[in-house]
């Protein structure tokens, strides 16, 4: 461990394999930082670690982000592909991030896999690196497979937790026993200490980086993102970008600051109304992609107990569970508790197919409204998302040649949940999102009547909305075409749903 690395960074690091961090190699041209889940330059522990190590070793820092256009087998098995929606959200953040990294004395190389451009950029740079720092993957794909490829080059690799207020590697399994209240209690003192600590002063590279590689994209042009998306690739181009939800730290900060100023104090009372345009922060996509510092958010919200319970409790416990159970989020036999594994004893022969579900054509008006909202806007209010998710197990589909046992039905239900969620949700592909999906199957919950997960029929949505309300709200968010908002609070709807100012979107 380099002597100059602060404790606040050291505690966030873990080796890819083994019990101790590997030392940087004696020879190598640079330190490499691979951006995977922390799309920000401010208060980014991965970047700060990489800069400080590069300075101590006297070599330049190269930052790299690779956006794949296909997924590893674990995700491809259920029909998953990267989408234009998720890719554009990250490209918008990278466009903002490139000049910020240059201002820190480094360079950010961006490799978007597409037809005619599939260089082994990460492997080539890693093979010549003194050290590689990668955002912690928490056992999730495609990030775990990416890190494993880097490890096979022989490069010493450090994983860095940039997602949690209390680094997950510092906690033990006992913190997950007893529900959310016990998790918050188990992490309370550690969180208070970290929230009270002074933020690190940002480091700057002491050694200039080499010029950008020929394959690296310059995203500074106004049409750069559109040009990348237009190039032929293996991505799912049918799921397009969300026009009024721009990726990047500036947009994330603007949305968060507006929520803190106007709505945070009333969060506990307003959070469950899906039509209250200011009742929830709508920050999950930004924080799941690491476009804003979770410590900053926690400091701002520290006096609002209900927000802290959701943000630091339910959210961070999912990171710890994924870290301690790598890959289990895709495996019903490991993720679903024993008492809930026989919940699907029969198959509904009349269940709608995946295509109909994706279109919001299940025949259940409330569920279809949720799905159309998700498809249009890339987000779904948590209160209705729970009923949306709990309905999906009833519509699980199995191949004709599969043995139809409770176990295979349960796995098929989880596959369908992940596929529908991650295809459309901007906050998908992260532990908090998977925690919500697994909760629908009984994860970290208690049995309901008959020893099965507690039901949450879609009819409960009708207590707050009418069919079509969520779709109309989504259209307001996306392009303003949904007409008048379906409920009150006109005062803030225009500012809350409007596009970021031009200075934000670049």
275-289 confidence digits (pLDDT tens): 998 899 999 999 999
CATH 1.10.579.10 residue window(s) in the chain:
327-496
pLDDT range class, residue 501, cuts 50, 70, 90: very low
Q: What are the pLDDT digits (tens) for 409-447? A: 999 999 999 999 999 999 999 999 999 999 999 999 999
pLDDT at 2: 56
Percent of the chain at pLDDT > 70 equals 93
Instruction: Place domain 1-162 in its CATH homologous superfamily.
Output: HUPs (3.40.50.620)
**Where does CATH 3.40.50.620 sit in the chain?**
1-162
Please give the pLDDT value at position 3: 55
| pLDDT-based confidence at residue 505 (cuts at 50, 70, 90) | very low
At 171-226, the pLDDT tens digits run: 999 999 999 999 999 999 999 999 999 999 999 999 999 999 999 999 999 999 99
Cβ partners under 8 Å of residue 331, min gap 6: 411
% of the chain residues with pLDDT over 90:
85
What fold does the segment set 327-496 form as a domain? DNA Cyclobutane Dipyrimidine Photolyase, subunit A; domain 3 (1.10.579)
Q: Are 310 and 283 in contact (CB under 8 A)?
A: no
Distance CA 126, CA 131 (A): 8
Q: What is the pLDDT of residue 394?
A: 86
The pTM (predicted TM-score) of the whole model is 0.94
pLDDT given for residue 264 in this prediction: 97
Backbone phi, psi, residue 135, to 5°: -55, 135
| The pLDDT of residue 48 | 98
Instruction: Check residue 383 and give its pLDDT.
Output: 92
Mean pLDDT of the chain: 92
Contact 397, 416 (CB under 8 A): yes
Q: Which pLDDT score, from 0 to 100, does residue 481 have?
A: 79
Tokens of 485: 């908002």
């Amino acid at each position: 461990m380099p002597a100059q690395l602060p404790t606040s960074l050291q505690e966030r690091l873990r080796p890819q394999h083994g019990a101790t961090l590997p030392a940087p190699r004696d020879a190598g041209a640079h330190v490499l930082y691979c951006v995977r889940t922390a799309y920000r330059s401010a208060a980014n522990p991965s970047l700060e670690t990489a800069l400080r190590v590069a300075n101590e070793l006297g070599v330049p820092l190269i930052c790299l982000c690779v956006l794949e256009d296909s997924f590893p087998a674990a995700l491809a098995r259920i029909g998953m592909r990267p989408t234009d929606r998720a890719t554009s959200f990250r490209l918008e953040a990278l466009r903002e991030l490139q000049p910020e990294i240059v201002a820190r004395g480094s360079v950010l190389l961006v490799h978007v896999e597409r037809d005619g451009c599939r260089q082994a950029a990460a492997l080539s740079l890693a093979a010549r690196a003194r050290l590689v720092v990668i955002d912690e993957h928490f056992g999730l794909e495609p990030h775990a497979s990416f890190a494993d490829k880097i490890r096979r080059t022989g490069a010493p690799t450090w994983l860095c937790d940039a997602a949690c207020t209390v680094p997950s590697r510092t906690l033990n399994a006992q913190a997950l026993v007893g529900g959310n209240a016990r998790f918050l209690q188990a992490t309370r003192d550690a969180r208070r200490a970290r929230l009270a600590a002074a933020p690190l002063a940002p480091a700057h590279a002491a050694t200039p980086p080499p010029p950008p590689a020929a394959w690296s994209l310059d995203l500074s042009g106004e049409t750069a993102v559109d040009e990348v998306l237009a190039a032929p690739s293996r991505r799912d181009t049918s799921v397009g970008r969300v026009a009024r939800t721009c990726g990047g730290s500036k947009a994330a900060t603007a949305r968060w600051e507006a929520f803190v100023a106007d709505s945070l104090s009333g969060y506990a009372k307003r959070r469950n109304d899906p039509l209250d345009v200011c009742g929830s922060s709508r920050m999950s996509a930004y924080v799941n992609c690491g476009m804003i510092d979770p410590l900053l958010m926690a400091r701002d919200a520290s006096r609002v107990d209900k927000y802290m319970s959701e943000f630091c409790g339910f959210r961070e416990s999912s990171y710890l569970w994924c870290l301690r159970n790598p890959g289990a989020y895709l495996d019903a036999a490991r993720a679903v508790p024993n008492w809930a594994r026989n919940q699907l004893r029969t198959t509904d022969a009349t269940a709608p197919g995946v295509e109909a579900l994706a279109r919001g054509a299940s025949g259940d008006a409330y569920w279809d409204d949720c799905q159309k909202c998700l498809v249009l806007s890339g987000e779904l209010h948590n209160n209705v998302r729970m009923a949306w998710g709990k309905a999906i197990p009833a519509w699980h589909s199995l191949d004709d040649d599969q043995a139809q046992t409770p176990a295979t039905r349960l796995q098929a239900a989880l596959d369908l949940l992940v596929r529908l969620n991650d295809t459309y949700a901007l906050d998908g592909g992260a532990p908090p999102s998977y925690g919500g999906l697994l909760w629908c199957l009984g994860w970290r919950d208690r049995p309901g009547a008959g020893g099965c997960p507690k039901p949450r029929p879609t009819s409960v949505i009708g207590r707050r909305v009418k069919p079509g309300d969520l779709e109309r709200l989504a259209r307001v968010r996306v392009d303003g075409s949904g007409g008048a908002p379906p409920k009150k609070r006109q005062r803030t709807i225009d500012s809350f749903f409007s596009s970021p100012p031009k200075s934000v979107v670049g």
